């Protein structure tokens, strides 16, 4: 059989694509995933279901090379199961800063301004807390924020400290222009991590034109000239599957690896590592690194991570960083360019103080 589309990787992106592409009953879709498939909530291992803590038990086991970025090797967690990292991650459902989307669009990326991506943010979500022009109520992904009564004492203290330090209390960090401290929008609902497997893919599984094959690792892409015609699977048999279109959604580490095994990638590296070079393509990718196990403290009332988000403007940034350093781990995002300070979004997991 020749599929209309093969999607490689059933992660955050792959499950969404599988749903959307198979809406057309005449379009056949094969979704390939290296990890296992837990088809519903009942069959999910408890650590995958529990959205209050990241899980590392369904993981590719990557780590950085010693010395990279001046550090000891750090674990680079990547979910290996249907749902991908959305089935293992921390479920912060936080939009980027509008100015960043506008900056991408102004660099020559049509469709990426905040005004243009907003309809898609609205479409993907079912926001339980806000009903206004910034939010959707009919999307597959449920989103909610912790109410004041659900906060642990440490969380409340953190929030109070931010307000005392001069930050506004912000109840909705997904609305544009909000700078301050407040609860994180999350896609954990009733303790369950709402992965794209449990949301987007679950809604599409019964379609006869959608096939999901788990525990199937793709080695490389097949090409006829410059056109992708299918995939080759890993394993001694090297089975091939044909398709009119191949969508690579194997993640920040998986997709480049498949491309490089295909002969598409940085020319020097490919020449050194393997045979013929098909095409030179980009390098310098970055991904989401992670903390160690146990970085998230248990919530006394139910195990929620202690999380607050500040969008901090340049003027007051250093003072909040100093304060926050004392009560927890900090992670910062690089400022975008030059002296221009965007609404740098600081995510503090003040776990160790709980
Ligand atoms: C621990 C952790 C916590 C995070 N927390 C958050 C958060 O709170 N909020 C947030 O917005 N983002 C968070 N992220 C980031 C976010 O989860 C990822 O950016 C996002 O899931 C990436 O989606 P993706 O579809 O590109 O890749 P993935 O979701 O990684 O999907 C790729 C899929 O492809 C499969 N695959 C890879 N190679 C092959 C192959 N050769 N053959 C077949 N299948 C293959 C993988 O097994 C995987 O299922 C977190 C990430 C991690 C690791």
Task: Give the domain CATH number at 36.
Answer: 3.50.50.60
294 to 29, 155, 290, 305: CA distances (angstroms): 39, 17, 11, 10
Q: Answer yes or no: is pLDDT of 183 > 50.
A: yes
Among protein residues, the one whose CA lies closest to atom 24 of ligand 1: 251
State the distance from the centre of ligand 1 to the C-alpha of 91, rounded, in angstroms: 12
How high is the pLDDT of residue 154?
81
Do 109 and 166 fall into the same domain? Answer: yes
Q: Answer yes or no: is pLDDT of 165 > 80.
A: yes
State the distance from the centre of ligand 1 to the C-alpha of 62, rounded, in angstroms: 13
- Residue-wise pLDDT tens digits, 130-141: 999 999 999 999
Do 145 and 104 fall into the same domain? Answer: yes
Residue 147 makes CB contacts below 8 A (sequence gap 6+) with 183
**What's the total number of domains in the chain?**
2
Position in ligand 1 atom list of the atom nearest CA 216:
43
In a domain, 293, yes or no: yes
Give the separation between CA 151 and CA 148, rounded to whole angstroms.
5
State the distance from the centre of ligand 1 to the C-alpha of 169, rounded, in angstroms: 31
Closest CA to 212 of 58, 332, 42, 35: 35
**Does residue 84 have its Cβ closer than 6 Å to ligand 1?**
yes
Do 260 and 303 fall into the same domain? Answer: no
Do 15 and 162 fall into the same domain? Answer: no
**Does residue 230 have its Cβ closer than 6 Å to ligand 1?**
no
Give the pairing of strands 141-143 and 188-189. unpaired
In a domain, 93, yes or no: no
- Residue-wise pLDDT tens digits, 28-55: 999 999 999 999 999 999 999 998 877 7
Q: Which among 255, 280, 305 is the end of a domain?
A: 280
**Which domain CATH number covers 337?**
1.10.1220.110
Position in ligand 1 atom list of the atom nearest CA 83:
49
How high is the pLDDT of residue 309?
39
**Does residue 89 have its Cβ closer than 6 Å to ligand 1?**
yes
Where residue 156 falls (left for φ over 0; alpha for ψ -120 to 50; beta otherwise) is alpha
Do 48 and 12 fall into the same domain? Answer: yes
Q: Which among 280, 306, 332 is the end of a domain?
A: 280
Give the separation between CA 184 and CA 95, rounded to whole angstroms.
11
- Cβ atoms of 242 and 2 closer than 8 Å: yes
Query: Token match 């000891």: residue?
Result: 72
For 119, the token pair is 């309809």
Do 182 and 199 fall into the same domain? Answer: no
In a domain, 223, yes or no: yes
State the distance from the centre of ligand 1 to the C-alpha of 14, rounded, in angstroms: 10
| 3-class state of residue 85 by DSSP | helix
Q: What would the mean pLDDT of 89-95 be, rounded to a whole number?
A: 91
pLDDT above 70: percentage of residues in the chain: 75
pLDDT band at 21, cuts 50/70/90? very high
Give the separation between CA 347 and CA 132, rounded to whole angstroms.
25
How high is the pLDDT of residue 289?
56
Over the chain, what is the mean pLDDT?
80
- Cβ atoms of 341 and 91 closer than 8 Å: no
- Residue-wise pLDDT tens digits, 231-287: 999 998 899 999 999 999 999 999 999 999 998 877 777 766 665 555 555 565 555
How high is the pLDDT of residue 70?
63
**Does residue 250 have its Cβ closer than 6 Å to ligand 1?**
yes
Which of 35-49, 65-79, 164-178 is predicted least confidently? 65-79
Position in ligand 1 atom list of the atom nearest CA 219:
41
H/E segment holding residue 265? strand 264-265
Do 199 and 81 fall into the same domain? Answer: yes
Give the separation between CA 275 and CA 126, rounded to whole angstroms.
49
State the distance from the centre of ligand 1 to the C-alpha of 308, rounded, in angstroms: 22
Give the pairing of strands 210-213 and 218-224. unpaired
Do 348 and 214 fall into the same domain? Answer: no
Do 180 and 302 fall into the same domain? Answer: yes
Sign of the torsion formed by the C-alpha atoms of 112, 114, 115 and 121: positive
Do 120 and 180 fall into the same domain? Answer: yes
Q: In a mutational test of the pocket of ligand 1, which residue from 6, 8, 9 has the highest number of ligand atoms less than 8 Å from its CB?
A: 9
How high is the pLDDT of residue 349?
40
State the distance from the centre of ligand 1 to the C-alpha of 12, rounded, in angstroms: 6
For 301, the token pair is 């009332």
Do 109 and 177 fall into the same domain? Answer: yes
Position in ligand 1 atom list of the atom nearest CA 76:
53
**Does residue 191 have its Cβ closer than 6 Å to ligand 1?**
no
Position in ligand 1 atom list of the atom nearest CA 9:
34
Q: Answer yes or no: is pLDDT of 127 > 80.
A: yes
Do 168 and 309 fall into the same domain? Answer: yes
In a domain, 332, yes or no: yes
**Does residue 17 have its Cβ closer than 6 Å to ligand 1?**
no
In a domain, 144, yes or no: yes
Q: What would the mean pLDDT of 142-168 be, rounded to a whole number?
A: 86
Q: What would the mean pLDDT of 186-206 be, rounded to a whole number?
A: 95
Task: Give the global pTM.
Answer: 0.84
Q: Which among 256, 280, 304 is the end of a domain?
A: 280
In a domain, 92, yes or no: no
Q: Which domain holds residue 128?
A: 98-186+289-353
């Amino acid at each position: 059989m020749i599929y209309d589309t093969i999607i490689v990787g059933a992660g955050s992106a792959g499950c969404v694509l599988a749903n959307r592409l198979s809406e057309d009953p005449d379009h056949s879709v094969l979704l390939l995933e290296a990890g296992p498939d837990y088809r519903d909530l009942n069959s999910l291992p408890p650590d995958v279901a529990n959205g209050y803590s990241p899980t590392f038990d369904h993981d590719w086991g990557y780590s950085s090379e010693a010395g990279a970025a001046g550090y000891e090797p750090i674990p680079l967690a990547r979910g290996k199961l249907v749902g991908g990292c959305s089935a293992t991650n921390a479920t912060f459902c936080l939009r980027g800063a509008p100015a960043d989307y506008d900056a991408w669009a102004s660099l020559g990326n049509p469709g990426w301004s905040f005004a243009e991506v907003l309809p898609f943010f609205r479409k993907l979500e079912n926001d339980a807390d806000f009903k206004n022009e910034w939010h959707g109520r009919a999307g597959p992904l449920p989103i909610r924020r912790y109410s004041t009564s659900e906060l642990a004492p440490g969380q409340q203290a953190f929030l109070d400290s931010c307000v005392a330090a001069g930050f506004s209390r912000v109840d909705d960090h997904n609305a544009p222009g909000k700078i301050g401290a407040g609860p994180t929008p999350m896609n954990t609902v009733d303790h369950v991590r709402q992965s794209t497997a449990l949301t987007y893919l679950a809604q599409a599984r019964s379609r006869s034109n959608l096939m999901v094959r788990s525990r199937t690792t793709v080695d490389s892409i097949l090409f006829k000239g410059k056109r992708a015609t299918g995939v080759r699977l890993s394993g001694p048999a090297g089975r091939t599957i044909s398709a009119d279109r191949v969508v690579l959604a194997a993640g920040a580490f998986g997709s480049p690896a498949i491309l490089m095994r295909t002969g598409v990638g940085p020319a020097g590296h490919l020449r050194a590592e393997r045979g013929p070079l098909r095409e030179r393509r980009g390098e310098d990718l970055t991904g989401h690194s992670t903390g160690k196990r146990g970085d998230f403290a248990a919530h006394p009332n139910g195990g929620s991570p202690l999380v607050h988000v500040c969008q901090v403007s340049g003027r007051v940034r250093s003072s909040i960083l100093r304060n926050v350093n004392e009560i927890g781990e900090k992670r910062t995002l690089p400022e975008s360019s030059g002296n221009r300070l965007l609404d740098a979004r600081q995510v503090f997991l003040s776990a160790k103080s709980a």
